[in-house]
Homo-oligomer: A and B are copies of this chain.
Amino acid sequence: MTNESWLPSLITETPEEGYELAVVLARKAVGMTQPDAEVRKKLRSVYANNPDSLTLASQVVAIHFQTVAAANNYWKN
């Protein structure tokens, strides 16, 4: 279905899936600013070899993981 949302819910079965959702959330904003997948691929080869770039990217995932974890009540239930 083409109208399917890329983000139907913040709820995930497990913490690991929650982490993967955080990665999706982090990359989405990048794709909205730079919609050209070819350009993004080229840029990734650059920042994947720059330690500070990797740390910065990890930081955005960390912020989204806070949100997803809170949404799931930290998977405590």
Contacts and interface: CB of A to CB of B under 8 A. Distances in A.
Chain A: number of interface residues, binned into ranges:
35 or more
A29 interface: yes
Interface string A16-34: 1001000101111110111
Chain copies in the assembled complex: 6
Contacts of A65: 25, 64, 67
Contacts of A63: 59, 62-63, 66
B10 A5 contact: no
Given A5-B15, A30-B55, A33-B47, 10 more contacts: A7-B19, A8-B15, A10-B15, A10-B69, A11-B76, A33-B48, A33-B57, A67-B69, A70-B74, A71-B75
